[in-house]
Chains A and B, each alone.
Chain A
Amino acid sequence: MAETLSRSQNPREWLAFALVWGSAALVTATFCWLLGDIVWHGLSHVSWTFLTAPPENAGRRGGIGPILVSTSLILGVCLAVSLPIGIGTAVLLAEFTSDQSLFGRMTRRSLDVLAGVPSIVFGLFGNAFFCKTLGLGFSILSGGLTLACMVLPILIRSTEEGFRAVPASYRLSAAALGLSRTTTLVHLLLPAAVPGLLVGLVLGVGRAIAETAALIFTSGYVDRMPESLLDSGRALSIHIFDLSMNVSGGDANAYASTLVLVIMLLAINGTASWLATYGLHRKVVTV
């Protein structure tokens, strides 16, 4: 790319060049400041015991073992529910409904609204619907389901963009070969749409793992090791919120918990992009 586009002496080109590099530098600097702050304050407290031990003295001492387990379970429930629904809806919207149909338009519009619903409103809704109406109480299940509602629009939209980016020739070739729609979808379109899905997954998981407001009313505050999905479990972000805003002297462990959360995110994002490059992409070739 860099070779194919010649850089002329045009001053506008130089201005644009400076602006693009400048904004990238500004963004990087701000974020390095933020991340540096977290690493600087958190690194000395993170150890194997911190990761496995239960919190003591309201979280001022001890570790985050049970909280990590709860967080993973909440995330697991969230993805187990939102991935099938999300991919299904995206496929329907991108491949099986015309842009003009009433059903497609209404679904899209409602998803657009859902994408903008503030997390605190999700919290109130989850509390009333999952915890009270469905009787799940304060539980990991309630929290995961609430988060699933929250990440759905992000997941659907990115996946849909992914499907739209698949060249029409794929579909035409499939039609010419007399493949069923199901086969075309599973073996051709889905693998090709994976990059879009992954963007959605990264954004969605990011939003889910970072969520505080929606979880405090649904999955609850209990920092004990959960025994089942019906137990209340404290998510990492709630732990951070409680330590930094409610427990005096919790700052050190709040920083350390944040660092752990950032590392978890790095791992998830890394796995997602590894899957994109090596795992799922191969399927297009072998089938």
Chain B
Amino acid sequence: MTSLRSNTLSRWPTDELLCWVLRGTATIAGTIVLLIVVFLIVEALPALYHVGLPRFFTDPSWHPADGLYNLTPMLWGTLFAMTGSVLIATPLGILSAVFCHYYAPPTLARPYRRLIELLAGIPSVVYGFWGLVVLVPLIAEIQPPGPSLLAGILILTIMILPTITLMADASLANVPQQYLRGAAALGLPRWATIQSVVFPAAKSGLCTGVILETGRAIGETMAILMVCGNVVQIPSSIFDPIRTLTANIALEMAYALGDHRAALFVSGLVLMAMIVALVLAAEWISRGRVYG
């Protein structure tokens, strides 16, 4: 597809300049993440040195004031909340995008898309606020205490839905019209066309969407902090409160000093490790063709 790479086009002096400018921008973009990792490691070093990495997974609990630094329950908290919300949001989001393209009349599709775009920009604080005053009391009626893994999963689902919907929407828009006409000519019904023609053609975009939404689910902070209860424990049911790694940083960073502060940077490193694992897994699943 990208013939600019080959020598088909004639070489102009401006092209050389352009190429170097582009390489410069890409280098800046690429090194930001390195800067972040280096900085996290530097800040986390005191804790790694004084406490040692194993104790972050073997200590009896998380009470940094008393020198106990177990991160495992929060790791599980993050994983549970992420898995639950991605499992709900992915089908909802993809179906929403399908709705926009193949089911809704144009008069409905446009406002629907606007609505989703709008939701992508609502601050997480607002979702959290809404969750705290509307959703949590509702859950508390069913099964106390209310702030729980369930509340977290539901709020996260609402928050990551725009991401997956918009990405799916964009990738569906890129499916060539010929495919659809071909399917129509063969007399394929609508859903069969979508399932066997549209989805395979849009696979790479959909994958990107899922990766992006998973990343957001892992990284979400403020809303989760407000609705999850923030108790450091491995939940035994969906109604139990949990604390995620991000909420842990946000809750305690402003109040932490010394090893406690460094331990929170270790939380940050663990989060980064999760993201790297996610990216590698995504690459492995799509065999290096995330971008296809």
Chain A positions near chain B (C-beta within 8 angstroms): 1-2, 4-8, 10, 12-13, 16-17, 19-21, 23-24, 26-28, 30-31, 33-35, 37-38, 84-86, 88-89, 91-99, 103, 106-122, 124-125, 128-129, 149, 152-154, 156-158, 160-161, 164-165, 168, 171-172, 174-175, 178-182, 184-185, 195-196, 199, 202-203, 205-207, 209-213, 236-237, 240-241, 244-245, 254, 258, 261-262, 265-266, 269
Determine if B61 is an interface residue (Cβ-Cβ < 8 Å): no
Q: Report the minimum CB–CB distance from A151 to chain B (whole Å).
A: 11
> Within 8 Å CB of A184, what residues of B?
4, 9
Determine if B65 is an interface residue (Cβ-Cβ < 8 Å): no
When the two chains form their complex, are residues B272 and A117 in contact, meaning their CB atoms are under 8 A apart? yes
Q: Report the minimum CB–CB distance from B281 to chain A (whole Å).
A: 11
Determine if B142 is an interface residue (Cβ-Cβ < 8 Å): no
When the two chains form their complex, are residues A99 and B291 in contact, meaning their CB atoms are under 8 A apart? yes
Q: Report the minimum CB–CB distance from B18 to chain A (whole Å).
A: 5
> Within 8 Å CB of B55, what residues of A?
none
When the two chains form their complex, are residues B112 and A115 in contact, meaning their CB atoms are under 8 A apart? no
Kindly supply a per-residue 1/0 record for chain B positions 64-108, scoring 1 wherever the CB is within 8 Å of any chain A CB and 0 otherwise.
000000000000000000000000000110011011011111000
Complex formed: what's the CA distance from A254 to B114 in Å? 24
Residue on A nearest B8 in the bound complex, by CB: A175
> Within 8 Å CB of A31, what residues of B?
115, 119, 158
Q: Which of A23, A85, A94 contacts B2 (CB 8 A)?
A: A94
> Within 8 Å CB of A171, what residues of B?
1-4, 8-9
> Within 8 Å CB of A269, what residues of B?
114, 117-118, 121
21 residue pairs A–B, Cβ–Cβ below 8 Å: A5-B102, A16-B191, A23-B99, A28-B115, A96-B2, A106-B30, A110-B29, A113-B33, A116-B215, A118-B268, A149-B32, A152-B32, A171-B9, A179-B10, A185-B18, A202-B117, A203-B163, A206-B117, A207-B120, A212-B124, A269-B121
Stretch of B46-54, B144-152, B232-240, B246-254 with 4 or more beta carbons under 8 angstroms from chain A = B246-254
Complex formed: what's the CA distance from A205 to B10 in Å? 37
> Within 8 Å CB of A174, what residues of B?
9
When the two chains form their complex, are residues A266 and B1 in contact, meaning their CB atoms are under 8 A apart? no
When the two chains form their complex, are residues B189 and A6 in contact, meaning their CB atoms are under 8 A apart? yes
Q: Which of A91, A110, A168, A206 contacts B33 (CB 8 A)?
A: A110
Top 7 closest A-B pairs, CB basis?
A206-B121, A88-B25, A116-B215, A118-B219, A116-B275, A16-B191, A180-B12
When the two chains form their complex, are residues A107 and B29 in contact, meaning their CB atoms are under 8 A apart? yes
Q: Report the minimum CB–CB distance from A21 to chain B (whole Å).
A: 7
Q: A20-B95, A98-B5, A254-B129 are in contact. Are A211 and B19 (CB under 8 A)?
A: no
Q: Report the minimum CB–CB distance from A70 to chain B (whole Å).
A: 15
> Within 8 Å CB of A118, what residues of B?
218-221, 246, 249, 268, 271
Known: A116-B216, A171-B3, A241-B222. 4 other contacts (CB 8 A): A21-B99, A95-B4, A165-B174, A180-B10
Chain B positions near chain A (C-beta within 8 angstroms): 1-5, 8-10, 12, 14-15, 18-19, 21-36, 39-40, 43, 91-92, 95-96, 98-99, 101-105, 112, 114-127, 129-130, 134, 158, 161-163, 165-167, 169-171, 173-174, 180-181, 183-184, 187-195, 205, 208, 211-212, 214-216, 218-222, 226, 246, 249-250, 253, 265, 268, 271-272, 275-276, 278-279, 282-283, 288-291
Q: A107-B26, A119-B221 are in contact. Are A168 and B123 (CB under 8 A)?
A: no
Q: Report the minimum CB–CB distance from A257 to chain B (whole Å).
A: 10
Complex formed: what's the CA distance from A182 to B10 in Å? 11
> Within 8 Å CB of A244, what residues of B?
125, 129
Q: A1-B180, A106-B30, A116-B278 are in contact. Are A212 and B219 (CB under 8 A)?
A: no
Complex formed: what's the CA distance from A212 to B96 in Å? 28
Complex formed: what's the CA distance from A165 to B288 in Å? 19
> Within 8 Å CB of A153, what residues of B?
29
